[in-house]
Structure 1
Amino acid sequence: MTAAQDGAASSKSEIAYQHLRERIVARSLVPGERLVLEQIARELDMSVVPVREAVRRLEAEGYVDYQRNVGAQVASIDPGQYLSSMETLALLEGFATASGAARISAAELDRARELNQELKRKAEQGDARAYTELNREFHRTLCGASANAHLLGLLEREWSRLDLIRRSSFALVPARYTESYAEHEALLQLVSCGAAESIVENFAREHTLRTARAAVAALRSAEEGEKS
């Protein structure tokens, strides 16, 4: 394969990846839905090879599962795995927020306040997708003041991997919209008034865990309802 051919194949794989990821995140492909590679290839006017590469990439990122005798399908939310992932995220966000609190600028705090007001509006509209994106931007703004570049890299990967699950979590527990906004306000107050790092870290960590616990309870309740 020439360099040009290799580049074209990589480009097609990226197109297929972005197409499928966007559809999964937008929930036009729902959890448990089978991904028929040949059909996707026809839709995108390409061979199956770049589509298969894209699906493997999505599998590595947790968006897709392979089921025996079924093939590739959009990943479902496993309550136990979700809770473990969110516990990890809570630790990372808590430490990053606390370590950046003394370094954050007035402009960054103002930006976080603006984002939280927009979050309030999205909460009133019940827009889970927009809320999740803004919520990540809010926490990225606070965490981004940390001087620990490695930590911030880990956070970016976790945020990306958990996009789909977190969007579902807010949709599962609508009450968390307004609660989350209020907790953001309290967190901003702690940071702006120079509260001790341990206080900021504990509050930020518990904020993330509250969403996780509420979503897990809703997921498990739904599972019990399906069994009965």
Structure 2
Amino acid sequence: MAVTKAAPSKTQLVYDHIIERVVSGDYASGQPLHIGRLAEVTRVSLIPVREALRRLESDGVVIVEHHRGARVADLDSAAYHDVMQTQAVLEALAVSLAAPHMTAEDLAEARELNAQMDAAHAADDPHSYHEASLLFHGLLQSRCPNAYLRESLDRGQLRVAAARAAVVGYSTEIARRLSEEHLLLLDRIESGASAEEIEQLMRAHREGTLARHDTGQGLGSEGYAPPPSGS
């Protein structure tokens, strides 16, 4: 059943504006963020901009320094490694706790998001690919009954997004493997697999992402590289 969402606050509008541009790479690592300009382009006053920047600083996406202003956090490959290593453990636990609470509608939506990732990759659309990836993992975590764990994972996902522009994408072969791992995980959740098995599958999925990064095979919020020409 679709849920009608309330209109976002002005602070949320600014927050979303910045996050979208970090994920797309329009705002690069270390790039200054001018409060006045942000207020102008989002058509709000300075107060919501400052509040959004404080939230983003708490999430680890933005750094705010006195007398120097705000800038996108400097998240490099080493920072990505640290975040993904932590995410592998936390997300595996969260999904194992969430699995018994997932509905048939949740699983159908997750399959649709995975299909959207495949379509975005085939269309050479990295923004849509990363957006669907974040939504896919967010959906799997959303049924986790541990609110603190969910919040910790949300902050980590944003830090992964902030690091994306500074790192290398995945090959088509790896993107295909990730898609297959998603489907296997969904199949096992649907069949009622044990929490231990779900946790192992999710952790292997994330640690495989990290291992491919460590061996120079690419990385990203879930990994993206344009498909070969003519594919």
TM-score (norm 1): 0.71
Please give the residue correspondences for 1:1-228 in structure 2 after superposition, counting only pairs within 5 Å: 16-37=14-35, 54-65=52-63, 72-166=70-164, 172-175=169-172, 176-218=174-216
| Identity rate, percent | 31
> 2-side partners of 1:67 and 1:35: how far apart?
11
Instruction: Flag structure 1 segments of 5+ consecutive residues without an equivalent.
Output: 1-10, 221-228
**Contact conserved, 1:128 with 1:168, CA < 8 A, in 2?**
no
1:144 Cα deviation from its structure 2 partner: 2.7
Q: CA deviation at 1:187?
A: 1.0
The one-letter amino acid paired with 2:58 is A
Cα separation, partners in 2 of 1:71 and 1:199, compared to 1, 3 Å: same
Does the 8 Å CA contact 2:23/2:130 hold for their aligned counterparts?
A: no
Instruction: Classify 1:157/1:43 alpha carbon distance in 2 versus 1 (closer, same or farther; 3 Å).
Output: closer
> Residue 181 of structure 1: CA displacement?
0.5
1:76 to 1:174, Cα distance in 2 relative to 1, 3 A: farther
Counterpart amino acid of residue 77 in structure 2? P
Q: Secondary structure at the match of 1:73?
A: strand
Tell me, in whole angstroms, the C-alpha distance in 2 between the residues paired with 1:147 and 1:17. 26
Distance of aligned partners of 1:213 and 1:16 in 2 relative to their CA distance in 1, 3 Å threshold:
same
**What is the alpha-carbon distance in structure 2 between the residues aligned to residue 47 and residue 88 of structure 1?**
37
| SS of match in other structure, 1:188 | helix
* Partner Cα distance (1:41, 1:103) in 2: 41
Alignment root-mean-square deviation, CA: 3.4
Q: Is the 8 A contact 2:64 2:70 kept in 1?
A: yes
CA distance in 2, matches of 1:112, 1:50: 33
TM-score by length of 2: 0.70
State the one-letter code of the partner of 1:142.
L
How many angstroms apart in 2 are the aligned matches of 1:100 and 1:44?
36
Unmatched tracts of structure 2, length 5 or more: 1-8, 219-231
Tell me the CA shift for residue 151 of structure 1.
Answer: 2.4
- Once the two structures are overlaid, the 10-residue window that deviates more, 200-209 or 65-74, is 65-74
What is the one-letter code of the residue matched to 1:173?
Answer: Y
- More relative contact order, 1 or 2 (CA 8 Å, 6+ apart): 2
The CA distance in 1 between the partners of 2:97 and 2:10, in whole Å, is 41
**Does the 8 Å CA contact 1:65/1:75 hold for their aligned counterparts?**
yes
Q: 2:101 aligns to what SS in structure 1?
A: coil
Cα 1:114–1:79, aligned 2, differ >3 Å: closer, same or farther?
Answer: same
